[in-house]
Structure 1
Amino acid sequence: MNGFKMTTRIRLLLGVGTLLFLVVIPFHGSVSATLPLVLWHGMGDSCCNPLSMGAIKKMIEEAIPGINVQSLMIGKTVVQDTENGFFMDVNEQVDMVCSQLSQDSKLASGYNAMGFSQGGQFLRAVAQRCPSPPMKTLISVGGQHQGVYGLPRCPGESSLICDWIRKKLNSGAYTDLVQKHLVQAQYWHDPLNDDLYKKYSLFLADINQERVVNETYKKNLQMLDRFVMVKFLQDTVVDPVDTEWFGFLKMGQAKETETLQESVLYKEDRLGLAAMEAAGKLHFLASEGDHLQFTEKWFNENILPYLR
């Protein structure tokens, strides 16, 4: 890759092992640096892959000169970072990130955060659990905020791992062993076994206030200036796709979905999302294409304004 050109297409590997085709159009503008930006990659990816998160980091830095962009590495090496996206307890990952951010003096006055695929809900957990330094804007790009009930497609380098994960999830997502050692089980949301989910989900049921209402979580999330959620309209990876806008399947069946606004979570305002929407803090964006597929033009027009 010899730099970005008008006619160049680069292939990015992002999120749940999905190929993202980025149509690169150069951005020429003078933009002052704003708050630092923290990125968290998705499953099957790493912090620094030059064809994925590395390219995203470079693209943002070129569009917003002077901005400090940090792409999180979960582990000591890129290999560990990728593996931990499958096998490291999510709560431990969030604790690790909270510690890292709290020790970074560059973030002391606040920062923006952008999570890709599962990195979206992981960064939301950071916002809820770790208010210092303060997260100002959270951008979730294809995040699964109500979890998933299926892993329909996971092509590319991670396909064999995903086949194995499917078997484990289908055979017992809420067993102690699977919950503790499989990341995707920790946001597996079975609408046919809601009681099991609420009782045994180690991560998602906690951050979504499914058992009890943690007022600290609620207060901290509402400290966000903006919570931006991007949904991919032709997504064939995330099931159901409504989870990218905090919707999900109605409980007791696995076909009919409901929006965030129709959910108990919203109606009882267990997480403060209704109050945030009333305050104009929730932003719902849609992108044509499959999971994590967008053009740089779309990114420049729809995402960059939240970072400036």
Structure 2
Amino acid sequence: MSQFTDNFDRKFYYLRLSITDVCNFRCSYCLPDGYKPQGANNKSFLSLDEIRRVTRAFAAAGTEKVRLTGGEPSLRRDFTDIIAAVRENRAIRQLAVTTNGYRLARDVAQWRDAGLTALNVSIDSLDPRQFHAITGQDKFHQVMDGIDAAFAAGFSKVKVNTVLMRDINHNSLHTFLEWIRTRPIQLRFIELMETGDGGDLFRTRHVSGKVIRDRLLSQGWVRQISERSAGPAQVFCHPDYQGEIGLIMPYEKDFCSTCNRLRVSATGKLHLCLFGDGGISLRDLLESDDQQDQLQARVAASLSSKKQTHFLHQGNTGITQNLSYLGG
């Protein structure tokens, strides 16, 4: 099978695979009222064998990197087995997870032993009280212990995701920079994105990542070149800091021009964009090992309808009611 490619000659090296939409945090920008099942549409999540088949099919069409997302992926009891199943395929060179860090201190060593190569942890504030207010969980110290455990387990770098919010953390750059001065952490500021449920919050709290970028450039930070399977972050480094800063700015012009990733939901639907409409079901082609060619053909055909850009600028959030549904 040749490389997955769309009509704009974008090649897809990166699969974001949601394995559950359940989350035990209640972040103000995602699930402020806590997790609620998706009603009658809430079919069972992908099984271990289905995960093995879908990642194998993507790898055979050029996917080099898989990120396991949720909800909170570590809430699945078979999470370590899922890591091992994906890593059976040597073509997948990078296997990452995005986690709220809840299980990190306890389990990160076994995740690494199973084959996990990269780790993103969500931390929106370095103030324990504010962390509690944002997430609904008094787990700040537990998550920070988890990051220490990740380094102890052999991860040479940890990425930390911080959703940028006006008057909550956008003025805390100095605190964050001091934290990464002596730690190999890539701190990634992610612009708040409007979702179907979050319009009011967006209008109150959205602030452009340009505010951070201008401050970094004025302080001598330099932008790095991205590798082909990297995510959309603009990454900056500074000789005085062990850590790095990443900026994810979906409202910036040409954000989508380098799109290299596709998404599969926890119920087996292909999503061509985080903010697209609908989704293409793959579940019927994940029932046995001998359907891989058909599966790849369906994905390849679907790519002909991938749009050149999202439509967030026009306030069109597609079907994305909250970010737990597809893991951001």
State the structure with bigger RCO (CA 8 A, min sep 6), 1 or 2.
2
TM-score, normalised via structure 1 length = 0.32
TM-score, normalised via structure 2 length = 0.31
Relative to its length, the structure with more helix (as a share) is 1
